Amino acid sequence: MAKRSVQPLLKQFHQGFVVCERPRTKNLLIGDPFKIIGNAVIAAAQHNTLMKRISPYVKSNVERFVEFLKILKTRNIPLIYASSSSVYGINKKDPFSESDRVDQPASQNAATNRETETLAHVYWNMYKLRSIGLCFVTVYGPMRRPDMAYYSFTKNISEGNPITVFNHGDMLRDFTYIDDIVDGVVNTLDFPFDCEILNLGHGQPQHLMTFIRAIEKEVGEKANINFKEMSKGDVFKTYADVNKARRLLVYNPKVALKDGIEKCVAWYKSASI
């Protein structure tokens, strides 16, 4: 499917849209010739927020996912859903591969993401409901949530406010630009999957401080950094093995960190005018 094919869907999207209220979703699917359904992560938040409010996230990420699977089963509509590299938890092996152990989650969010992957496999095993889970890895880009690191760092550095950096900046992240993620998702639409999990990352982890210095350079201001200990539920490194996605989806992440940050800050400046 060409990118232009998804433009009508993108134009209809708005903040606060609820996907998995079962009666509404069921009614939406009745009579419509959907060939495939996409399901993004419904509830996402930073680790400290999740620690305080675990129940709503379990409800959104697990219970509503089950309701969604039930509806799709009745129509036998394949599913593409968003997972996260957080499922790899405190696994010491890197790069993270789809065949690695995922039984050591570091946070509640990681556990609920893994649960959705497991449930998707159950529905394939029992009902042959086809699905593919895409593990997004440290995604950044324009128009992200305000609590995400890129946006928060850019905003606070621009305004002269301090930024909080955990583990004294000693972390590695496989920063993946949003355009590369979108290319991977669109390529998935043409892949004849049964039940798969695929990593969508960049495959080249960068030091967190390199990320911050790149933002400083584009903003033209020095960051006032408040260093703290490692946050509970966080991990030292994200690093995806994307060879499976390269092979099956012809996935080819192209945007280097420097170029991605340049685009992000340019968008931020234009949106702030």
Give the Å distances, CA to CA, from 16 to 115, 153, 240.
Answer: 24, 24, 30
* CATH number of the domain bearing residue 211: 3.40.50.720
Domain that holds residue 152: 16-272
Residue 4 within any structural domain of the chain: no
Residue 6 within any structural domain of the chain: no
- Altogether, the residues listed in the chain come to a count of 273
pLDDT for 64 equals 86
Residue 235 within any structural domain of the chain: yes
Residue 187 within any structural domain of the chain: yes
Cα 198 to the chain's mean position, in Å?
12
pLDDT for 41 equals 44
Q: How far apart are CA 190 and CA 89, in angstroms?
A: 30
Residues of the chain with pLDDT below 70 are 1-57, 273
Residue 240 within any structural domain of the chain: yes
Total tally of structural domains belonging to the chain: 1
pLDDT digits (tens, 9 = 90+) for 95-113: 999 999 899 889 888 899 9
Residue 2 within any structural domain of the chain: no
pLDDT digits (tens, 9 = 90+) for 215-254: 999 999 999 999 999 998 899 999 999 999 999 999 999 9
Residue 5 within any structural domain of the chain: no
**Got the DSSP string for 40-51?**
--S----HHHHH
- Of 216, 207, 202, 200, the residue nearest 262 (C-alpha): 216
